[in-house]
């Protein structure tokens, strides 16, 4: 993975003092606002339908804390695809992915469409209110609908049946809640799960529409290289069945630093400050795991 390896090297230089790890929060927010403003302007001009922008935050993390952080994720994030990939000298990539990219068994396929986000509330009343606001938000519904429509268009030529609920449901996680639409697909013939991964990745949940133009925007604008962030992570068997998740809620550990990633979907009406807050909510699971490890497994 030459791009990912180069990304790790660039992160390492940043942590050594080149740029981002020493930047104050105000500077990070300002850079984010500039990037989101450029994205919304490009979307209003009709160049894109949606863009997904990401950022990373660096924090010290001794090597001894990596595996306790993994143990925390396994305990605190049920229903997630929890993973850790040892990359040798490039470090360890770990996370708790909430979203199936594809789950394939024979000709039957399930895809999770997860887009549109709100935080969990501090009490039941607030949590319910924020959930209702998420379900009613035109911005969040638009962001979600773009993803569902794109996945359907990608899989329809390969399918004899493709079904989805008429409206999204809520998927409530520990720190955030998402708009959620599962797609059930019956393929016209059995395909290896890696064919399906190649057909779908990267979806508008992590890149944008149109796909290639969105990837060019991301490469030109994001200050931190994504590396393995938001890539497919999973398994497959001899017959080609398998399950892959999207490597979100993740971090790269290398040389005493953890680089925690998160992104947000941008449409024409996006507000840079609100989108920044969304990335903080999404960083919370991994940051909680690292904090728990810092404290020797006491609290979060």
Residue 98 CB contacts under 8 Å (≥ 6 apart), including other chains? 77, 79, 80, 114, 171, 173, 178, 248, 249
Gap between the Cα atoms of 59 and 114, Å rounded = 28
Taking a C-beta distance cutoff of 8 angstroms, is the pair 205, 196 a contact?
Answer: no
Dig out the tokens for 118 from the structure: 């709100």
**99 has catalytic annotation:** yes
How many other C-beta atoms are found inside a 10 Å radius of the C-beta of residue 40? Answer: 20
Taking a C-beta distance cutoff of 8 angstroms, is the pair 259, 58 a contact?
Answer: yes
Q: What is the DSSP annotation of 150-188? A: HHHHHHGGGEEEEE--SS-EEEE-SSEEEEEEEEEEEES
Taking a C-beta distance cutoff of 8 angstroms, is the pair 120, 131 a contact?
Answer: no
**49 has catalytic annotation:** no
The three-class DSSP label of residue 109 is: strand
From residue 30, alpha-carbon distances to 33, 119, 222 in Å are: 5, 22, 13
Gap between the Cα atoms of 223 and 29, Å rounded = 12
- Of the residues 18, 41, 99, 275, only one is catalytic, namely 99
70-104 burial code (b ≥16 CB/10 A, e <16)? bebbeebbeebbbbbeebeebbbbbbbbbbbbbbb
Q: HEC states along 260-271? A: EEEEEEECCCCC
Closest CA to 227 of 48, 26, 92: 92
- Of the residues 18, 49, 50, 277, only one is catalytic, namely 50
Catalytic positions? 50, 99
């Amino acid at each position: 993975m030459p791009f990912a390896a180069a990304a790790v090297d660039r992160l390492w230089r940043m942590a050594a003092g080149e740029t981002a790890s020493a930047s104050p929060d105000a500077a990070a927010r300002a850079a984010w606002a500039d990037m989101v403003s450029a994205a919304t302007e490009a979307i209003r001009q009709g160049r894109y339908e949606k863009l997904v922008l990401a950022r990373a935050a660096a924090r010290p993390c001794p090597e001894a804390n990596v595996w306790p952080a993994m143990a925390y994720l396994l305990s605190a994030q049920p229903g997630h695809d929890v993973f850790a990939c040892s990359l040798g000298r490039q470090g360890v990539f770990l996370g708790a992915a909430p979203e199936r990219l594809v789950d394939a068994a024979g000709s039957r396929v399930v895809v999770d469409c997860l887009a549109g986000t709100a935080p969990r509330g501090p009490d039941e009343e607030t949590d319910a209110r924020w959930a209702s606001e998420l379900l009613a938000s035109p911005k969040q519904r638009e962001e979600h609908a773009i993803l569902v429509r794109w996945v359907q268009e990608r899989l329809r030529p390969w399918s004899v049946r493709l079904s989805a609920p008429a409206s999204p449901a809520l998927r409530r996680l520990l720190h955030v809640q998402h708009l959620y639409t599962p797609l059930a697909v019956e393929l016209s013939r059995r395909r290896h799960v890696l064919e399906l991964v190649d057909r779908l990745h990267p979806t508008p949940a992590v890149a944008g529409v149109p796909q290639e133009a969105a990837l060019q925007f991301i490469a030109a604008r994001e200050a931190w290289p994504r590396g393995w962030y938001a890539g497919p992570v999973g398994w497959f068997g001899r017959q080609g069945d398998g399950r892959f998740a999207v490597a979100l809620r993740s971090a790269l550990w290398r040389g005493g630093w953890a680089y925690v990633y998160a992104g947000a979907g941008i449409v024409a009406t996006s507000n840079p400050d609100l989108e920044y807050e969304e990335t903080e909510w999404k960083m919370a699971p991994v940051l909680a795991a690292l904090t728990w490890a810092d404290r020797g497994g006491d609290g979060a």
